[in-house]
A = this chain, B = another copy of it.
Amino acid sequence: MISGLDIESGVVDLSHGAGGKASAQLVEEIFRPAFANEFLNQMDDGALLPNQGERLVVSTDSFVVSPIFFPGGDIGSLSIHGSVNDVAVMGAMPRYITAGFILEEGLPLSTLKQVVDSMGAAARACGVALVAADTKVVKHGEADQIFITTTCVGTMADSVNVAAERIRVGDQVLVSGTIGDHGATILTSRGDLGLDTDLKSDSQSLHDLVQEMLESGVQIRFLRDPTRGGVATVLNEIAEQTGLGICIHEAEIPVADGVRAVGELLGLDPLYLANEGRLVAICAPADAEQLLQLMRSHTKGKDAAVIGEVSADARHPLVLQTAWGSNRIVPMLTGEQMPRIC
């Protein structure tokens, strides 16, 4: 008989990934309490879910962020927000989530519990049930602490249609808040830079903001969350998909002072920094003001702004009009800005 887990001072060992008694114990003492719901409680290798009666949206993301705890969040809550947001910006309601954990031998059980509890709290806050999970353990040095891959399944009403092909010349481009907070926070959280800032990740779920936007009656053409690669990458992708151009105005782009300062210090453009709780919305010109006010009235969109418009100029996918009135082409991110930001 194995005694209870020593969560205070114990560590993950290879037996926790072997599928036997120790694996079961990890599930019983750490995972189940954090995620308990009727589907997970089936305790099968998969979860049986009811007929949804609607179209489905599925999205998956692997999370390898370093450090695993950072101002404003941790790898656990981030792994929920990331997949939930991918489903939400498709116009769907996130319902279920699965998680695959890859743990490095030696990870303190207390760390694992902290991450898993944070995931559970984030899932509850989003109204999604974690319905299936798997854990593997690799030897010390074969992974870095903890990697989490989540897959979110959502349902989408027949009336919803947000797709890039609906975008038209003249459409307005909005962001739901300041940009680059997550990327700047992760970068400065890495001790080697020796920076002491009060930055905080924007990691949060967007499903409730999106639902309010969709239910408002405003014609939203397109939504996307600008994660890795930032707003610049998303707008370049939209330009490429539509064959249109986008012009954005530097003076209108909300950037937190701390993010601007870090960007200037390190030579990083906030347009390329990752966001984990912001969205880009595109709507018809006549609807822009109403959509902006609606977003600003939501706590998750209080710093929303109209930052630009769609143009017919396909030769220059994304153009930034600087504060001085000059124009600068903003290309798609080509190199690596920083690894393991999410």
* Apart from A49-B56, A100-B151: 8 A-B pairs, beta carbons within 8 A: A13-B336, A18-B229, A18-B336, A20-B229, A48-B55, A49-B58, A58-B132, A136-B342
Q: A19-B233, A46-B90, A229-B19 are in contact. Are A52 and B58 (CB under 8 A)?
A: no
Q: Which residues of B contact A332 (CB under 8 A)?
A: 20-21, 24
Contact B90 A20 (CB under 8 A): no
Q: A225-B45, A334-B2 are in contact. Are A60 and B102 (CB under 8 A)?
A: no
A43 CA to B18 CA in the complex, in Å?
36
Contact A18 B337 (CB under 8 A): yes
Residues of A at the B interface (CB closer than 8 Å) are 2, 13-15, 17-24, 43-64, 86-87, 89-90, 92, 96, 98-102, 105, 131-139, 141-144, 147, 149, 151-154, 156, 224-225, 227-229, 233, 241, 272, 274, 332-340, 342
Contact A86 B45 (CB under 8 A): yes
Contact of A55 among B49, B86, B133, B136 (CB under 8 A): B49
A24 CA to B15 CA in the complex, in Å?
38
Q: Which residues of B contact A44 (CB under 8 A)?
A: 90
Q: Which residues of B contact A229 (CB under 8 A)?
A: 18-20, 23
Main secondary structure of the interface of A (DSSP, over half): mixed
Contact B59 A101 (CB under 8 A): no
Contact B241 A43 (CB under 8 A): yes
Q: Which residues of B contact A58 (CB under 8 A)?
A: 46-47, 49, 96, 98, 131-132, 151, 153
A146 CB to nearest B CB, Å:
11
Q: Which residues of B contact A225 (CB under 8 A)?
A: 45
A63 CA to B134 CA in the complex, in Å?
10
Contact A100 B20 (CB under 8 A): no
Contact A334 B20 (CB under 8 A): yes
Q: Which residues of B contact A334 (CB under 8 A)?
A: 2, 15, 20-22
Pairs across A and B, CB under 8 Å, 25 listed? A14-B339, A15-B335, A15-B336, A18-B339, A19-B274, A22-B335, A23-B229, A43-B241, A45-B89, A46-B58, A46-B87, A47-B57, A47-B58, A49-B58, A58-B96, A60-B151, A62-B102, A62-B134, A64-B136, A64-B142, A100-B149, A134-B149, A136-B340, A137-B339, A138-B340
